[in-house]
Amino acid sequence: MTEIDQDRVLIFDTTLRDGEQSPGATMTHEEKLEIAEMLDDMGVDIIEAGFPIASEGDFRAVSEIAKRSKNARICGLARANPADIDRAWDAVKHARHSRIHTFIGTSPLHRAIPNLTQDEMAERIHETVTHARNLCDNVQWSPMDATRTEWDYLRRVVEIAIKAGATTINIPDTVGYTAPVESADLIRRLIAEVPGGDEVVFATHCHNDLGMATANALAAVEGGARQIECTINGLGERAGNTALEEVVMALKVRNDILPWNTAVDTRKIMAISRRVATVSGFPVQFNKAIVGKNAFAHESGIHQDGMLKNAETFEIMRPEDVGLMSSNLVMGKHSGRAALRDKLHQLGFEVGDNQLKDVFVRFKELADRKKEVYDEDIIALMHAGEESENDRLKLRHLRVVCGTDSPQSAELTLEIDGEEKQITATGDGPVDASFNAVKMLHPHNAHLQLYQVHAVTEGTDAQATVSVRMEEHGVIATGQSADTDTVVASVKAYIHALNRLLVRRGKMGEGADAKEISYKDVS
């Protein structure tokens, strides 16, 4: 077995698997490929690309990510049965470096679900890990809800998995129950007391239910874990997972007391954080560590005075370290294509000539409406859901009437399958009226799960970024758009989500993007 590098912590990103389990965070096939490419490019060691047996869409995404991977090891998740493991292997086997990750719930509560005795579960672990190792030379095994599993039984099943050929043992805090001192001690004891424990990589997978995911993950590293499982922005079900940006920057900034290194290029953190927030429909809270809008903002007079004299007075890391530009160059209607291309490059966007031409037109339109165009405006412009030639629904005209005295109404013209249709509708406010007009022109049963509006920058001429999440018969789609007119941005986002639902509805016969089995209770 390869000697474990004790100075190195492997970063295992599960944004595309555990992160996507957040209700409403489902990504399209193309978005998954894009995020995987960004993760690979930033230096993530292992990408858990999905749960291949969950659906045909998940299988296709994992398989395509495996084929396209350049450096990262591509991992597929599998429950403790041969069919899951075979499906995972079929999806990841084309990767340059592949991994099968199989798991089973070992705590008393989780053992009760399949109604297995301790001995029966131990036998299943031996059989399934052996089966996985016969297919792939890199196998990860997880005892789900490990932190609530009896110590003697946890030690027993970890030993079984190691003897069966597991090369990585992941210890999940599935419900965010543990605390840092316990997290470190658990890993330390397993390495010391389980035969072969010092010859495999121990990993930590923490949830944030009590707000301690990052602390628990770093404590596990101190206890001897050499792999951290995490997600971009801490995305994940309930309170989320350990945030990749937090553990990576903690190891970088406090390397004096956390003397371990990662291979992550931290300068790429902001770009992928913004992209994941956009495609998932989960905005980053303003005061979120590392990637929040206020993470490098200073309003207090004392803080501002200190920053002007010496930035290190109130900043423990440089904005540039996580991919933020030190200067926010304002652009306007007189800026040319070359300046826009250079600005996009600084912001992490590489565009071809045709895409630049399209973006430049939209940039000029925005610059005509805004006196000053900031970095955030350009990022919103790039990430906004724009019309595609294949969209069945397209906004052509919108006029709203609102106020305290007159009824709120919306006059809407949509192009539906190439034919323009017009209607006027009323509602409880201009946005409600506009959404009612869309539904009258395009009847549907989709339920609006989420409607969020965020100002991109300050000022009354700021762009509004709108996120919409729609659910129809168990299929979820998100839509985003940005505009200086909040109502227009809202309608564009609503239509964007409906177009994505129409695409998924057309693919349901193939099983694409459909959740055919439950993701519940997965590490």
Q: Which of 327, 354, 383 is the last residue of a domain?
A: 383
Can you point out the beta strands (E) in 221-361?
A: 227-230
**pLDDT of the chain along its 523 residues, tens only?**
456 788 999 999 999 999 887 766 778 888 999 999 999 999 999 999 999 999 998 999 999 999 999 999 999 999 999 999 999 999 999 999 999 999 999 999 999 999 999 999 999 999 999 999 999 999 999 999 999 999 999 999 999 999 999 999 999 999 999 999 999 999 999 999 999 999 999 999 999 999 999 999 999 999 999 999 999 999 998 999 999 999 999 999 999 999 999 999 999 999 999 889 888 878 888 889 999 878 876 443 443 344 345 555 546 888 889 887 654 556 777 788 888 888 888 777 888 888 888 888 888 888 887 777 877 788 777 766 566 777 899 999 999 988 877 789 999 999 999 999 999 999 999 999 999 999 999 999 999 998 989 887 777 778 888 989 889 988 888 888 888 899 999 999 999 999 989 987 765 444 444 443 333 344 4
Please check whether residues 465 and 357 belong to one and the same domain.
no
159 within some domain: yes
> Residue 230's domain spans which residues?
10-280
Q: How far apart are CA 149 and CA 104, in angstroms?
A: 12
Please check whether residues 421 and 310 belong to one and the same domain.
no
75 within some domain: yes
Please check whether residues 402 and 356 belong to one and the same domain.
no
Give the H/E segment covering residue 341: helix 337-346
CATH code of the domain in which 262 resides = 3.20.20.70
Please check whether residues 310 and 457 belong to one and the same domain.
no
Please check whether residues 127 and 185 belong to one and the same domain.
yes
Please check whether residues 107 and 219 belong to one and the same domain.
yes
Please check whether residues 475 and 433 belong to one and the same domain.
yes
Give the number of other Cβ atoms within 10 Å of residue 6's Cβ: 10
Give me the pLDDT at residue 505, please. Answer: 72
Please check whether residues 147 and 172 belong to one and the same domain.
yes
Q: What is the pLDDT of residues 247-277, one digit of tens each?
A: 999 999 999 999 999 999 999 999 999 889 8
CATH code of the domain in which 413 resides = 3.30.160.270
User: How distant, in Å, are the alpha carbons of 36, 40, 116, 315, 345 from that of 75?
Assistant: 12, 13, 27, 37, 31
Please check whether residues 400 and 379 belong to one and the same domain.
no
Give the number of other Cβ atoms within 10 Å of residue 73's Cβ: 21
Structure tokens at 373: 């165009």
64 within some domain: yes
Contact yes or no for 438/429 (Cβ under 8 A): no
DSSP 389: T
Please check whether residues 463 and 366 belong to one and the same domain.
no
* Cβ neighbours for 146, distance < 8 A, ≥ 6 positions apart: 106, 107, 154, 171, 172, 173, 174, 186
Give me the pLDDT at residue 302, please. Answer: 40
Residue at 384: amino acid letter: A
514 within some domain: no
290 within some domain: no
Sheet with 409-416: strands ordered across: 393-401, 409-416, 419-426
Q: Which of 247, 280, 313 is the last residue of a domain?
A: 280
486 within some domain: yes
* Count of structural domains within the chain: 3
Please check whether residues 237 and 103 belong to one and the same domain.
yes
Give me the pLDDT at residue 506, please. Answer: 67
User: How distant, in Å, are the alpha carbons of 173, 193, 205, 498 from that of 382?
Assistant: 37, 53, 33, 20
Residue at 295: amino acid letter: A
Please check whether residues 379 and 397 belong to one and the same domain.
no
Q: Binding site for Mn(2+): residue ranges?
A: 18, 205, 207, 241
521 within some domain: no
Q: Would you state the torsion angle of the CA atoms of residues 105, 107, 112, 116, taken in this order, to the nearest 10 degrees?
A: 70
CATH code of the domain in which 341 resides = 1.10.238
291 within some domain: no
Give the number of other Cβ atoms within 10 Å of residue 103's Cβ: 25
Q: Which of 332, 348, 383 is the last residue of a domain?
A: 383
